[in-house]
Every structure is written in C-alpha cells, then in structure tokens.
Amino acid sequence: MNRDDLRELLVQIDLYVEGLFAPPDPVLEAALRRSREAGLPEINVPRNEGKLLQLLAEIAGARRVLEIGTLGGYSTIHLARALPEGGSLISLELDERYAGVARENVREAGLEDMVEVRVGDAKASLARMVEESEGPFDLVFIDADKGGYPEYLEWALRLSRPGSLILADNAIRGGSVLDPEDESARATLDFNEQIARDTRLSALVLPLIREDIDGIAIARVLGP
C-alpha cells in the first residue's frame, strides 16, 4: 500500500468511526458555524475526539472540570455534557473575543449554568486558582499553546487529586514529536516524556486518526 492509499484508508476509518459514534449534532454544528463566522481558527478537536473527551469524563465520574484553552467552546460543550446535575466546568481563554464566542456557544447549548469562561493568561489564572485553593478538579483538559504544556502539567497536578484525569490534545502532531524541529514539537515531546516518567501519574499517549496522525495524552493522577 502506497502513502496516498494509506492516507485515504485512515480518512475512511476516521469517517467510519465518526459516523457510528459521533454523528452530526445540530448544537455542535452551530457552534462550529458561529466560530467560523467570527473568524476563529479552525483548530477545534475533531468530532471523534470530542466524543472521546465526553466519554472519558463520564467514565471518570467527573463533577468538576478544568479546561485550559477554550477557543470557541466546542470541546467545552462536549466536556460539560458529561457533567451530572450540580457539576461545573471552568475554561481558561486568553482572547476576549474567543471567549465571547465560546460563551454564546455554551449558552446556545443550554450549559451556561455549569460553565464559566475566564479570560486572561492561563498561567497567571492557574497560579491564582492554586493560591485560592480552587482545586481539586476531577478532570483537566489541556489544549492551549503547546510551548506551555510542560508548565500547564505542573499546575494541573497542583489542582488535581489522586484519581483525577489529566488530558492533553495534539500529543503526536503528525509525528513531529519523533524528530522535533520547532518549539511546539519540542515542548510536546517534553510534555510526553514528563507524563511517562512522573511517578505521580499512570499515563499513555493514544494516537488518533485525523487527516494526519495526532494523539491525546491520558494520565491518571496516582498521588502527590
């Protein structure tokens, strides 16, 4: 099988899984449309990964979720849908305009009572959350600037408890972590190596099929 045939097969497998487990959802499609119309970059998690995030949050029995990187709120909606009555989600976003779109999307999804989008530098926000003892969270999802991933991991650990899940998007980056040539790929490689060797975590990077190969890092907190 040549490279083009393999790529086409991967796309077809992705579409097959998507069709079975993540069919089109009017609320989510509207959220993507509003994000596009507002000029947000089209870097949302794909439908299959959104469903995986929701499923992992449900399996974990998460009641409190922290998201680092909101964009238009697409992944936020998936995670919030997994929450039980009385659950809550805090999402951190640097850009006020992105946050405004995300809030509208969350509101249209009927989830505004359990979701709070905070605007500002994520590292400063996380430091303040630690200082004000806002943890622990049952699940932390990291999907922000890749150069910050190693530091975000440390803040996530300080805001977690034994049994919490820490998830991170873009952990394979089309294979660039195998031979990193830019800052984002090097930081992602550092992050992957951190979760692999940190004795506080039991972790794995799960490859995901997209137009290219990417992956999601999944780590369970074992203890302090």
Average pLDDT value for the chain = 94
Q: Convert the pLDDT of each residue in 177-210 to its tens digit.
A: 888 888 888 999 999 999 999 999 999 999 988 7
- In the sheet where 88-93 sits, what is the strand order? 115-119, 88-93, 64-68, 139-142, 165-168, 213-221, 201-209
Q: How far is CA 17 from CA 10, 52, 80, 108, 154, in A?
A: 11, 11, 22, 27, 34
Q: Convert the pLDDT of each residue in 102-120 to its tens digit.
A: 999 999 999 999 999 999 9
List the CATH code of the domain at 3-221. Answer: 3.40.50.150
Q: What is the pTM of this model?
A: 0.95
Lowest mean pLDDT among 20-29, 68-77, 127-136, 202-211: 202-211
Confidence of residue 8 (pLDDT cuts 50, 70, 90): confident
The residue to which tokens 């600037």 are assigned: 145
